[in-house]
Amino acid sequence: MNYVLRGIGVLATVGTLSLLAFSLPSGGEARGDGGGDDLMPRLTHKAWQQECASCHLAYSPALLPRASWRRVMGGLEQHFGENASLDPATQADILRFLEANAADSGRSRMGDKVMQRMDTKAAPLRITETRWFVKKHDEVPRTAWARKSVGSAANCAACHRQAEKGVFDEDTVRIPK
Amino acid sequence: MIKRIAWFGLALISAHAAADTPASSMVRYAQQAGVAVSALSPTRGEVLYRTEHPGKNGATQSCASCHTANPKQAGQTRVGKRIEPLAPSANPQRFTDAAKVEKWFRRNCTDVLRRECSAQEKGDFIAWLNQIK
């Protein structure tokens, strides 16, 4: 009798724990997700962070499909009007990382969402031109983007104050004057 | 024996990594240009920094466009990210990594001057920045 009770107790505990584990935000981490809806996948890659983040935020690979990243990395001599050329080894290293974690890699919830609104053959160069981005920012007035304090839509951190940490949820947004 | 070789290798690597300084960069560029270090000119370096060149949409651009008129100050990239000061007196990390120095000369000279900079110009440039107190 005692054993039966104990068995039920153990089962109940394990069941509750696993339910909890799956319902907690950390459940997404197995796929590289930060967890919440507006968290970029937590990723680390030395060259990606070092090189891409020397001029702008190291945009998450989950925001564009593989075909886009190939175009971006194939045209670094003319990277949105600036020469961002790299040595071939670093360039290849970063591209491998971007492709492995791209929106269509199936490795993050963020990427899945971006792909839901993307034509299968599309390969946009700008994250700001993806339907996902446009939809997400449809409440932001046009005039806000043009403010000197913002500079351009490429400057995530102007409004997303914790962008450097990969945190993009609305509570952390403050549009500067 | 293997240990000794490993130590030697490590020493070599660390010596290599620590080898670059603004002064050693000047020596390197002077050598490449085939001139003495004393022939590098801070005055020409400053002219290179401040000269305005035709830019986008009819505007002009110079090194100072992003790095500001005072190289002891932090600058800003086109998308608003901070650029640490160029002058070694304000930023000791400057000109301590030869590959990085070459990478940025290649990129920025091509953007601003629409051509690569010569070894002499690079040496002049560092000579000017390095004597800023």
- In this predicted model, what pLDDT tens digit does every residue of A117-138 receive, in sequence order? 999 899 999 999 999 999 999 9
Regarding whether A38 and A19 lie in a shared domain, the answer is no
Name the band, by pLDDT with cuts 50, 70 and 90, for residue A24.
very low
Using alpha carbons only, give the angle B85, B88, B91 rounded to the nearest 5 degrees.
50
pLDDT for A2 equals: 60
The predicted-structure confidence for B44-55, as pLDDT tens digits, reads as follows 999 999 999 999
Regarding whether A22 and A63 lie in a shared domain, the answer is no
User: Partners of B53 in the beta sheet?
Assistant: B61
Give the number of domains in chain A: 2
DSSP state of A50: I
State yes or no: pLDDT of B30 exceeds 80: yes
pLDDT for A17 equals: 47
Q: Taking the alpha carbons of B34, B53, A75, A85 in that order, is the dihedral positive or negative? A: positive
Residue A108 counted as domain residue: yes
User: Which of B57, B76, B81, B84 should be substituted to probe chain A, the one whose Cβ sees the most A Cβ atoms within 10 Å?
Assistant: B81
User: Which of A49, A50, A52, A54 should be substituted to probe chain B, the one whose Cβ sees the most B Cβ atoms within 10 Å?
Assistant: A54
Percent of chain B with pLDDT over 90: 80
CA distance B41 to B37: 9
Contact A145, A153 (CB under 8 A): yes
Regarding whether A23 and A38 lie in a shared domain, the answer is no
How close A17 gets to chain B, by Cα (Å)? 44
Q: Which residues of A touch B78 (CB under 8 A)?
A: 55, 81-82, 151-152
Contact A155 B56 (CB under 8 A): no
**Summary mean pLDDT of chain A:** 84
State yes or no: pLDDT of A23 exceeds 50: no
- For the ranges A29-33, B60-64, B89-93, B125-129, which has the lowest average pLDDT? A29-33
State yes or no: pLDDT of B1 exceeds 70: no
pLDDT for A53 equals: 94
State yes or no: pLDDT of A28 exceeds 60: no
Regarding whether A27 and A38 lie in a shared domain, the answer is no
Residue A177 counted as domain residue: no
Regarding whether A49 and A20 lie in a shared domain, the answer is no
Percent of chain A with pLDDT over 90: 63
Give the domains, in start order, of chain B with CATH numbers: 2-130 (1.10.760.10)
- pLDDT, mean of residues B27-42: 98
Regarding whether A93 and A39 lie in a shared domain, the answer is yes
Regarding whether A139 and A65 lie in a shared domain, the answer is yes
CA distance A96 to A45: 11
Contact A57 B81 (CB under 8 A): yes
The predicted-structure confidence for A9-21, as pLDDT tens digits, reads as follows 555 555 544 444 4
pLDDT for A151 equals: 83
State yes or no: pLDDT of B57 exceeds 90: no
Regarding whether A43 and A15 lie in a shared domain, the answer is no
ipTM: 0.82
User: Partners of A171 in the beta sheet?
Assistant: none
Contact A46, A55 (CB under 8 A): no
Interface of B with A in 27-86 (CB under 8 A): 56, 77-81
- pLDDT, mean of residues A45-67: 96
pLDDT for A40 equals: 83
The predicted-structure confidence for A148-172, as pLDDT tens digits, reads as follows 888 888 999 999 999 988 889 889 9
Residue A12 counted as domain residue: yes
Residue A68 counted as domain residue: yes
Regarding whether A69 and A13 lie in a shared domain, the answer is no
Name the band, by pLDDT with cuts 50, 70 and 90, for residue A146.
confident
| pTM summary value | 0.80
Residues in A lying within 8 Å of B, measured between beta carbons:
53-57, 77, 81-87, 150-152, 154-155, 157-158
Residue A131 counted as domain residue: yes
How close B40 gets to chain A, by Cα (Å)? 27
Question: DSSP letter string over A77-130?
Answer: GGBTTB-----HHHHHHHHHHHHHTSGGGT--HHHHHHHHTS-TT---S-GGGS
State yes or no: pLDDT of B59 exceeds 70: yes
Residue A3 counted as domain residue: yes
Regarding whether A162 and A140 lie in a shared domain, the answer is yes
CA distance A87 to A105: 26
User: Partners of B83 in the beta sheet?
Assistant: B75
Regarding whether A38 and A18 lie in a shared domain, the answer is no
Regarding whether A151 and A74 lie in a shared domain, the answer is yes
Name the band, by pLDDT with cuts 50, 70 and 90, for residue B22.
very high
Domain, as residue range, for A14: 1-31
